[in-house]
C-alpha cells in the first residue's frame, strides 16, 4: 500500500508515514485556522515527488492560489490547478469548460478522464451552498470509489460552522479520516490546534498538536496530551 506524505513531518509521523492510498480525508477548519496551507503542503509534496496532483480551488483564482503558494514554497513542481470561480477561465483539458453548466458533474468528468494520485478540494462548502446534501454526499462517495480504484488520496477541506450540523456529521461519517483545525485565544495569543477525530487503518492519536503558520508553511510544536 502506498503512503502519501503530507510534507509536514510531525503530522506524517502520527499517521504512520502519511495518508494511506485509497483514502479520503476531511480537513475541517475554523475560519483562520490555515487549512489552505495544509492543503498546499499536501499538493506541493506530491508534485515534488512526481505524483500527478489535481488541486481544485472554489473561492480563489488560479493566479491567487499560485501567489499564496509562492509565499510558502518559492520553488515547487507545477501541478494541475483549477479554479471554480465564475470568472475563471482555466480548465483541465477542456473538461470543465464543457460541463460548466453543472460544476459537480464537471469535477467528476475531470477525475474520470485522468488518473490523479492526489486530489485536493478547497472547499466543500462551495458544493453544499449550491447542491443538496444528498448530491454532495454522492460526490464524496464518488471520491471514495475513485480513491480505492486508483489507489489515490483525497484531501477535502470544509469550513466549520457554515453548514447545518447534519451536513458536517455526514462528511465526518463518510470520509475515511477526519482532522479538525481550531483556534484558541490564550493570554492574548491566538493558538492553532489540530486533533484527529477518526482515521481508518491507524489507532487515532489522542495527542493534540499545536501549530503555527510561518513563512515555510505549517510548523507543528511539541505535542500536548488530552486530559
What's the CATH number where 74 sits?
3.40.50.300
Checking if the pLDDT of 2 tops 60, the result is yes
CA 53 to chain centre: 12
Residue 183: inside a domain, yes or no? Answer: no
Residue 168: inside a domain, yes or no? Answer: yes
Checking if the pLDDT of 196 tops 60, the result is yes
Residue 84: inside a domain, yes or no? Answer: yes
Range of the domain at 49: 3-177+199-220
Give the per-residue pLDDT at 168: 95
Residue 190: inside a domain, yes or no? Answer: no
Q: Rounded CA gap, 177 and 90, in Å?
A: 30
Residue 72: inside a domain, yes or no? Answer: yes
Whole-prediction pTM: 0.92
Give the per-residue pLDDT at 176: 97
**What is the number of structural domains in the chain?**
1
Residue 193: inside a domain, yes or no? Answer: no
Q: How confident is the model at residue 89 (pLDDT cuts 50, 70, 90)?
A: very low
Q: How confident is the model at residue 162 (pLDDT cuts 50, 70, 90)?
A: confident
Q: Where are any strands of DSSP class E within the chain? A: 3-4, 19-20, 23-29, 53-57, 80-83, 118-122, 153-159, 177-186, 189-199, 209-214, 217-220
Checking if the pLDDT of 98 tops 90, the result is no
Amino acid at each position: 500500500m502506498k503512503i502519501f506524505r503530507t510534507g509536514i513531518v510531525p503530522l506524517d509521523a502520527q499517521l504512520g508515514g502519511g495518508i494511506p492510498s485509497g483514502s479520503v480525508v476531511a480537513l475541517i477548519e475554523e475560519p483562520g485556522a490555515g487549512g489552505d496551507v495544509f492543503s498546499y503542503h499536501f499538493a506541493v509534496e506530491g508534485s515534488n515527488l512526481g505524483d500527478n496532483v489535481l488541486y481544485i480551488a472554489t473561492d480563489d483564482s488560479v493566479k491567487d492560489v499560485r501567489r499564496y503558494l509562492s509565499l510558502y514554497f518559492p520553488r515547487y513542481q507545477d501541478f494541475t490547478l483549477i479554479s471554480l470561480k465564475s470568472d475563471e477561465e482555466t480548465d483541465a483539458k477542456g473538461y470543465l469548460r464543457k460541463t460548466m453548466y453543472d460544476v459537480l458533474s464537471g469535477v467528476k468528468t475531470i477525475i474520470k478522464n485522468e488518473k490523479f494520485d492526489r486530489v485536493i478540494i478547497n472547499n466543500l462548502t462551495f458544493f453544499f451552498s449550491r447542491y443538496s446534501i444528498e448530491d454532495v454526499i454522492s460526490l464524496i462517495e464518488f471520491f471514495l470509489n475513485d480513491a480505492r480504484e486508483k489507489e489515490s488520496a483525497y484531501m477535502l477541506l470544509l469550513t466549520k460552522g457554515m453548514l447545518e450540523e447534519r451536513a458536517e456529521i455526514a462528511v465526518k461519517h463518510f470520509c475515511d479520516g477526519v482532522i479538525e483545525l481550531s483556534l484558541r485565544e490564550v493570554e492574548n495569543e491566538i493558538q492553532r490546534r489540530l486533533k484527529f477525530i477518526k482515521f481508518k487503518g491507524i489507532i487515532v492519536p489522542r495527542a493534540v498538536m499545536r501549530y503555527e503558520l510561518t513563512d515555510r508553511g505549517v510548523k507543528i510544536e511539541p505535542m500536548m496530551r488530552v486530559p
